[in-house]
Structure 1
Amino acid sequence: MKAGEGRVSSSGCSNMIENDLEMASVHKVSVRPPESMLHCIEGAVKETLFPDDPFRQFKNQPAKRKCFLGVQYLFPILEWAPKYSLKIFKSDLISGITIASLAIPQGISYAKLANLPPILGLYSSFVPPLIYAMLGSSRDLAVGTVAVVSLLIGSLIAKEISPAQNPQLALHLALTATFFAGIFQASMGIFRLGFVIDFLSHATIVGFMAGAATVVSLQQLKGILGLQHFTTETDIVSAMRSVWGQTHKWRWETIVLGISFLSFLLITRYISKKRPRLFWISAAAPLTTVILSSVLVYATHAEKHGVEIVGHLKSGLNPLTVESFMFEGKYLKTLVKTGLIIGIITLTEGIAVGRTFALFKNYNIDGNKEMIAIGMMNIVGSCTSCYITTGAFSRSAVNFNAGCKTAVSNIVMAIAVMITLLFLTPLFHYTPLVVLSSIIISAMLGLIDIPAAYHLWKVDKVDFLVCMGAYVGVVFGNIEIGLIIAVTISLLRLILHVSRPHTAVLGNIPNTTVYRNAEQYPDAARVPGILILRIDAPIYFSNASYLRERIMRWIMDEEERLAKMKEDTLQYVIIDMAPVTTVDTSGIRMLEELKKTVELTGLQLALSNPGSDLMEKLEKAKFTEFLGPNWLFLTVGEGVAVCSSLLQARKLNG
Structure 2
Amino acid sequence: MGSSEPPLTGSVPSVLSSPEPPGLWQELTSSVREAVLPRRGKLPPPFRLLVRALQTIFPILSWGRRYDWKMFRSDLMAGLTLASLGIPQSIGYANLARLDPQYGLYTSVVPPLIYAVMGSSKEIAIGPVAVVSLLLSSMIQKIVDPVADPISYRKLVFTTTFFTGLFQVAFGLLGFLVDFLSHAALVGFMGGAAIIIGMQQLKGLLGLSHFTNKTDVVSVLSAVSSDIHEPFMHPGNFFIGCSFLIFILTTRFFGRRNRKLFWLPAISPLVSVVLSTLMVKLTRADHSVKQLEFSGSFVGEAAKIGLISAIISLTEAIAVGRSFASVKGYHLDGNKEMLAIGCMNLAGSMSSCYVATGSFSRTAVNFSAGCKTAVSNIIMSLTVVISLELLTKLLYFTPTAILASIILASLPSLVDVAEAFRIWKVDKLDFVACLGAFFGVLFVSVEIGLLTAVIISFAKIILGSLQPRIEVLGRIEGTNTFCNVRQFPMAIRTPKLLTLRIDSAFICFANANSVRERILRWVKEDREMTEENPEERAQAVVLDMSKVMNIDTTGLIALEEVQKQLLSDGLQISIANPGWQVIHKMRLAKFSNKVGEMFFLTVAEAVEACLGLYGKNIRPTQ
- Superposition TM-score, scaled by structure 2 size: 0.89
Partner of 2:243: 260
Gaps of 5+ in 2: 618-622
Which residue in 2 is equivalent to 1:234? 215
Matches within 5 A, 1:489-500: 489-500=456-467
Deviations 1:109-134 (CA, angstroms, capped at 9, x unpaired) = 11111111112222222222222222
Structure 1 stretches lacking a partner, 5+ long: 1-20, 299-310
Q: What is the letter of the counterpart of residue 201 of structure 2?
A: Q
1:220 Cα deviation from its structure 2 partner:
0.6
In structure 2, relative to structure 1, the CA distance for the partners of 1:564 and 1:163 (3 Å cut) is farther
Aligned positions of 1:575-594 closer than 5 A: 575-594=543-562
SS at match of 1:290: helix
CA distance in 2, matches of 1:71, 1:608: 44
Following the alignment from structure 1 to structure 2, what is the Cα–Cα distance between the partners of residues 340 and 613?
31
Aligned to 2:620: none
Matched, 1:447 2:406: no
Superposition pairs of residues 64-75 of structure 1, within 5 angstroms: 64-75=47-58
Which residue of 17, 23, 30 corresponds with 2:5?
23
Partner amino acid, structure 2, of 1:459: V
The 1:336–1:584 alpha-carbon spacing in structure 2 relative to 1, beyond 3 Å, is closer
Whether the 8 Å CA contact 2:84–2:267 is kept in 1: the answer is yes
Match of 2:591 among 589, 612, 623: 623
Query: Which one-letter code corresponds to 1:399 in the other structure?
Result: N
Where does residue 85 of structure 2 map in the other structure?
102
Which residue number corresponds to residue 205 of structure 2? 224
Following superposition of structure 1 onto structure 2, how do residues 142-541 of structure 1 map, counting pairs within 5 Å? 142-189=125-172, 192-249=173-230, 250-296=233-279, 312=283, 314=285, 321=290, 324-426=291-393, 428=395, 430-537=397-504, 538-541=506-509
Distance 1:327 1:479 in 2: 25
Q: Distance in 2 between matches of 1:645 and 1:68?
A: 58
Q: Which moved more, 1:26-35 or 1:461-470?
A: 26-35
Residues 262-294 of structure 1, C-alpha deviation per residue, up to 9 Å, x if partnerless? 223223323333444432121112112223434
- Secondary structure in 1 matching 2:461: helix
Alignment partner of 1:590: what SS?
helix
Q: Which amino acid aligns with 1:66?
A: L
Following TM superposition, by how much is the alpha carbon of 1:219 offset from its aligned partner in structure 2, in angstroms? Answer: 0.5
Shift of 1:636: 3.2
Deviations 1:554-590 (A, max 9, x none): 2223333344899944443322222233433333322
Distance verdict in 2 for CA 1:389–1:582, change over 3 Å: closer
Partner of 1:84: 67
1:124-167 Cα deviation digits (max 9, x unpaired): 22222222222222222212111111122122221122212222
Query: Higher mean Cα deviation, 464-473 or 418-427?
Result: 418-427
Matched position secondary structure for 1:44: helix
Change (3 A) 1:598 1:73: closer
Conserved 8 A contact 2:115-2:340? yes
SS in 2 for 1:573: strand
Instruction: Give 1:459 deviation, angstroms.
Output: 2.0
Deviations 1:383-404 (A, max 9, x none): 2222222222211111111111
> 2:474 aligns to what SS in structure 1?
strand
Change (3 A) 1:94 1:547: same
Which stretch shows the higher mean deviation, 427-436 or 468-477? 427-436
After superposition, the C-alpha distances for 1:180-213 in whole angstroms (9 at most, x for unaligned) are 3233333433xx1341522223223222222211
Is the contact between residue 6 and residue 609 of structure 2 (CA under 8 Å) also seen in structure 1?
A: no
AA in 1 matched with 2:5: M
Distance change >3 Å, CA 67–CA 509, structure 1 → 2: closer
Partners of 1:32 and 1:605 lie apart in 2 by 16
Q: State how many pairs are aligned.
A: 612
User: Partners in 1 of 2:180 and 2:305 — Cα distance?
Assistant: 19
Q: Percent identity?
A: 45
Structure 2 residue aligned with 1:8: none
2 CA distance for matches of 1:564 and 1:230?
A: 79
* Aligned equivalents of 2:294, 2:78: Cα separation in 1: 39
Q: Partner amino acid for 2:285?
A: K
Aligned to 1:549: 517
The question of whether the paired residues in 2 share the 8 Å contact of 1:58 and 1:69 is answered with no
Q: 1:350 touches 1:392 (CA, 8 Å); kept in 2?
A: yes
426 and 48 in structure 1: CA distance in 2 versus 1, 3 angstrom threshold? closer
**Corresponding residue of 1:113:** 96
CA contact (8 A) 2:6 2:612 kept: no
Residue 243 of structure 2: SS of its match in structure 1? helix
Amino acid of the structure 2 residue aligned with 1:575: L
Deviation at 1:648, TM superposition (A): 7.6
Single out whichever of 358-367 and 213-222 deviates more from structure 2. 358-367
Moved more, 345-354 or 386-395: 345-354
**1:207, 1:469 within 8 Å by CA — same for their partners in 2?**
yes
Would you say the 8 A contact 1:31–1:616 is kept in 2?
A: no
Distance 1:115 1:559, change over 3 A: same
TM-score by length of 1: 0.85
**Against the structure 1 CA distance between its residues 454 and 639, is the aligned structure 2 distance closer, same or farther, given a 3 Å change threshold?**
same
Moved more, 337-346 or 270-279: 270-279
Contact 2:6–2:608 under 8 Å retained in 1: no
Partners in 1 of 2:582 and 2:103 — Cα distance? 57
Residues in 2 aligned to 1:372 and 1:648: alpha-carbon distance in whole angstroms: 60
Query: Residue 30 of structure 1 aligns to a residue in which SS?
Result: helix
Change (3 A) 1:156 1:371: same
Q: Deviation of residue 328 (structure 1)?
A: 1.7
Largest Rg, 1 or 2: 1
Please tell me whether the aligned partners of residues 144 and 389 of structure 1 are also in contact (alpha carbons under 8 angstroms). Answer: yes
Moved more, 552-561 or 410-419: 552-561
Tell me the alpha carbon deviations over residues 62-87 of structure 1, each in whole angstroms, 9 at most, x when there is no partner. Answer: 32222333333333222233332221
1:15 match: none
2:46 maps to 63
Shift of the 54–276 alpha-carbon distance from structure 1 to 2, 3 Å rule, reads farther
Which secondary structure does the structure 2 equivalent of 1:199 belong to?
coil
C-alpha distance after superposition, 1:505-528 (max 9, x if no partner) = 112323434321111012223333
2:126–2:358 contact (8 Å) kept in structure 1: yes
Say which SS state the counterpart of residue 178 (structure 2) adopts: helix
1:26-60: CA deviations, max 9, x gaps? 55422458688796566534665556682537944
The one-letter amino acid of 1:546's match is S
Change (3 A) 1:234 1:622: same
